[in-house]
Structure 1
Amino acid sequence: MARAKRQTTSLEPSDRLIITDLTSEAYWERPPTEAEQPWLASIAELSPEPFVLNAQLEVDHQPTIEPILTRDVEGWRANRYIGEIRHQGRTLEIRPRLGIDVLTSWISTILNVQVLPQTATTSHTAAGVVTQLLAALWRSAVLTAGQHALPRTGLKVSSHGLAVRGRLDAAATARRRAAGHRDVVSTRVARTYNNAPARAVVLADRYLDQRLAGSKWRGDRVEEQLNVLRTATGSRPASPSLQEIKRTRYSPITLKWRRAAELSWRILHDNPLAVTADDDTTHGVLIDVAELWELFVLHCAGLATTQPVRHGTTTHRSGHVAVSTVDETKTIGRLYPDIVVGEDPITAIVDAKYKPLNDRRGVDREDLYQLHAYASTFVAPLAALAYPQVGDSRAAAERNGPWQSQSSLLSFIALPVTVDECVTKLAQTFDLR
């Protein structure tokens, strides 16, 4: 991780650069200063992995790692991540070009939970984009974990008296009798919410609530769950260690609380919403929006057809560009498409691209070659690249499509960012084959 000497103890307006994802430097709210150019270059060298908080979405593949920033002929450009990075006394804030409400609706669709509370007030939308998204991800983890049960665990309790409560502890009873006591010792398992996962969740809730003060950001269901947990742990419980969270015994019903607790622990440990950058460390939080888009399109594809729809990046669906003629076990160029429609035979391949599809940028050459490789390798009659739709205009690649390539149709489609419209357009696309 990059290090720098202490430069400032507060973030003045000049210490914050606000940009939009996948937007070149020429279209930022303000151009970076000469002093910020080497600072941006140092951010481009950082690995985004320590800052990305998408783990609770249960993605079944290793996500693509891209630089936070890249530079081309139009200057600096943010890639697939949004969020904040505090580095060398300055802050880079990357906002979603599609807006915070669109992204939270994607998370709701992916996890089938209401991530943006219906009780939210305008003061919630006034909060920082990173704060809102972090709260939405945390809320989604808690809602998903609490669909069936709260994180209750068993605690072994010993007691002594004239009556047995639970199971008789013969060894302990013998020791008390030898010491002259006439009572018996018994043990029982008491169910409690005062445990490491619950304490982590309660503390993360407190952390976020301090930064979303005045807004009903939790929603009724989360509020109800937190009231139960706070009653058991107290409003300011001792912070658990990550090892305590991992060592906790989870039942199949409460297993998802481990993910919610680990996310809560990371929020508390990394302090991604700190208001100052007054030391020589680099910290922040990033959300991989390309991953959210991929999972949103996957969900919509499942609703758009009655055929089997699989996440192509699982071990069940992969292919190879070429196979050795000498040894058929030797292959070159393994391919993992995002979405596979149909099974024996495959009827369509869809690859989600978060980047914009427009006439100025067009279809990148590497994307075109990738799509052609998918179509030929999986022998799919239809292969499509799916981009988020921005505005009403259609790019030439979509207007003039689908495109014929040997035995497959290649389609470049801009999908609406709302679930119903996205499902409708995908259903129309699948009917092209």
Structure 2
Amino acid sequence: MSDKKGRTEAEVVSEGRLVINDLTSEAHWDRRPTDQEQRWLAEIAELSPEPFVLNAQLRGDHEPTIEPILARDADGWRANRYIGEIRHKGRTLEIRPRLGIETITGWISTILNVQVLPHTAAHSSEASNVITQLLAALWRASVLTAGQHALPRAGAKVSSFGLSVHGRLDVAATARRRAAGYHGLVSTRVVRSYDNAPASAVVLADRYFDQRLAGDRWRGARLHDQIAMLRAATGARPKMPTLHEIRTARYSPITIKWRRAAELSWGILNEDPLGVAAADESTHGVLIDVAELWELFVLHCVGLATEQPVMHGTTEQVSGHLARSTVDPDRTIGKLYPDVFVGEDPIAALLDAKYKRLGGRRGVDREDLYQLHAYSSTFKAPIAALAYPSTSVELPTAERNSPWQTNDSTLSFLTLPTEKDRCVAKLTQWFGGH
């Protein structure tokens, strides 16, 4: 099939989609963007990624780092710290993980201690879009984490009328009915059910992915059983809940994680990032902050590599300042947030995760070097390191010559394996060498 200009359908589709890898410059893309696409990419670079990022259930309460979706340097355009898909003015930009989907899903598994890519789905998922698989993995992680201890059962108050009491006697309601000439008693009881707003959102999101993923084994056995129980209560096509209903539902300390799973489900269903028509002129998208995943992966591996206390430094509770006013000691400038602290009173080590490559023409970026020195000096950490994902068997020059000595600290530049056990082993070796 061809259009009026004689182009095949495949050619028309390819013009509407540009597929690139994260942190890969335009010079190394599979094809160079046309002039029209260059203008379109400039518009995407002006978009805030915040409405499209779906990392909330992994992040916890700390504030995310916001960077542009795209940036331009001497080599042209390149994607920054996000992977995913942005559909803007009828065209689609797909940003794939340069380290592969298995690596990213492995990080999510490590962070949440759940298996987010079922072994039974490893082969059947090949026919599915990479971004669909990543989004499904993030959603699976959220639901599996929420359901580790309980399903989202909520209580609803039910009133009964009759000659016997079912639950608790409602004295006021009984008195009103007696005054109106009715006999009998009014009683109330709490009936607990899975038919509620959070469960409905999760069931609908499951249906959403089931229509887009190849095969029927993408959930894995545990998630399959959980969804079956929820679907039995809500029905296969429950009414779409509002975000207000999800947030105001009653949660116990055991079921509170279902709120985040339901909010993620609602966001996926509301935005419908995978179902927007290609001709839609509006902007839709879904992004995963892969740099934040790397940070949390490093944090968890550090926790397994040392017996000392490990804290996540990217919070308001753990921060320092580059300088303090001598006139007014309460005034500071340059707030510092290292990603990982090891030890407390005093701090034994600190690490900052960098998702970028270590090496190349510039080696360690000057701003990263100054940042690490500022961290180690401010927090008086005897050892400090920048942690990069390993992408080559050969060690970069900055790592081969590590550690580096300053007046106060010993600095290292580490490329860590992207697989959990090997990453923990290398960190254990690094801690043992100091």
TM superposition score normalised by structure 1: 0.95
Distance 1:287 1:156 in 2: 40
Using the TM superposition, give the Cα deviation of residue 116 of structure 1 relative to its aligned residue in structure 2, in angstroms: 1.2
Distance 2:386 2:175 in 1: 74
- Map Cα deviations across residues 52-104 of structure 1 (whole Å, 9 max, x no partner): 00001133421111110011111110000000000011000000000001101
Which residues of 2 match residues 14-413 of structure 1 at below 5 A? Answer: 14-178=15-179, 181-413=182-414
Distance 2:61 2:337 in 1: 12
- Map Cα deviations across residues 333-360 of structure 1 (whole Å, 9 max, x no partner): 1111001111121121100000011233
Higher alpha-carbon deviation: 415-424 or 110-119: 110-119
Distance 2:351 2:89 in 1: 41
Distance 1:164 1:317 in 2: 55
Q: How many residues align?
A: 424
Higher alpha-carbon deviation: 256-265 or 340-349: 340-349
Indicate if the aligned counterparts of 2:276 and 2:284 stay in contact, CA closer than 8 A.
no
Indicate if the aligned counterparts of 1:150 and 1:254 stay in contact, CA closer than 8 A.
yes
1:61 maps to amino acid: H
- Map Cα deviations across residues 240-283 of structure 1 (whole Å, 9 max, x no partner): 00011111111111111111111111111011112523333100
Using the TM superposition, give the Cα deviation of residue 361 of structure 1 relative to its aligned residue in structure 2, in angstroms: 4.1
- Overall identity of the aligned pairs, in %: 70
Distance 2:174 2:63 in 1: 55
Indicate if the aligned counterparts of 2:338 and 2:375 stay in contact, CA closer than 8 A.
yes
- Map Cα deviations across residues 12-33 of structure 1 (whole Å, 9 max, x no partner): 1211000000001111111111
1:281 maps to amino acid: S
Higher alpha-carbon deviation: 76-85 or 169-178: 169-178
Using the TM superposition, give the Cα deviation of residue 181 of structure 1 relative to its aligned residue in structure 2, in angstroms: 4.4
Indicate if the aligned counterparts of 1:199 and 1:233 stay in contact, CA closer than 8 A.
yes
| SS of residue paired to 2:118 | coil
Distance 2:262 2:342 in 1: 35
- Map Cα deviations across residues 372-429 of structure 1 (whole Å, 9 max, x no partner): 1111111111111000001201111111111111121111110000111101111122
Distance 1:121 1:303 in 2: 27
Using the TM superposition, give the Cα deviation of residue 288 of structure 1 relative to its aligned residue in structure 2, in angstroms: 0.2
| SS of residue paired to 2:342 | strand
Using the TM superposition, give the Cα deviation of residue 178 of structure 1 relative to its aligned residue in structure 2, in angstroms: 5.0
| SS of residue paired to 2:120 | coil
Distance 1:171 1:327 in 2: 62
User: In 2 relative to 1, CA 361–100 (structure 1 residues): closer, same or farther, beyond 3 Å?
Assistant: farther
Higher alpha-carbon deviation: 360-369 or 95-104: 360-369
Using the TM superposition, give the Cα deviation of residue 322 of structure 1 relative to its aligned residue in structure 2, in angstroms: 1.6
| SS of residue paired to 2:374 | helix
Distance 2:328 2:188 in 1: 64
| RMSD of aligned Cα (Å) | 1.6
Distance 2:390 2:133 in 1: 23
| SS of residue paired to 1:143 | helix
User: In 2 relative to 1, CA 232–69 (structure 1 residues): closer, same or farther, beyond 3 Å?
Assistant: same
Distance 1:129 1:168 in 2: 57
Structure 2 unpaired stretches of 5+: 1-9
| SS of residue paired to 2:151 | coil
TM superposition score normalised by structure 2: 0.94
Using the TM superposition, give the Cα deviation of residue 177 of structure 1 relative to its aligned residue in structure 2, in angstroms: 4.2
| SS of residue paired to 1:71 | strand
Distance 2:365 2:103 in 1: 25
Distance 2:433 2:321 in 1: 26
2:228 maps to amino acid: N
Distance 2:59 2:24 in 1: 28
2:23 maps to amino acid: L
| SS of residue paired to 1:240 | coil
Indicate if the aligned counterparts of 1:121 and 1:215 stay in contact, CA closer than 8 A.
no
2:301 maps to amino acid: C
2:272 maps to amino acid: N
Distance 1:299 1:403 in 2: 25
Distance 1:175 1:229 in 2: 38
- Map Cα deviations across residues 2-45 of structure 1 (whole Å, 9 max, x no partner): xxxxxxxx971211000000001111111111221100111111
Higher alpha-carbon deviation: 231-240 or 376-385: 376-385
Indicate if the aligned counterparts of 1:124 and 1:216 stay in contact, CA closer than 8 A.
no
Higher alpha-carbon deviation: 89-98 or 55-64: 55-64
Distance 1:130 1:338 in 2: 27
Indicate if the aligned counterparts of 1:313 and 1:338 stay in contact, CA closer than 8 A.
yes
Distance 1:116 1:226 in 2: 16
Higher alpha-carbon deviation: 275-284 or 88-97: 275-284
| SS of residue paired to 1:35 | helix
Indicate if the aligned counterparts of 1:69 and 1:77 stay in contact, CA closer than 8 A.
yes
Structure 1 unpaired stretches of 5+: 1-9
Using the TM superposition, give the Cα deviation of residue 215 of structure 1 relative to its aligned residue in structure 2, in angstroms: 4.0
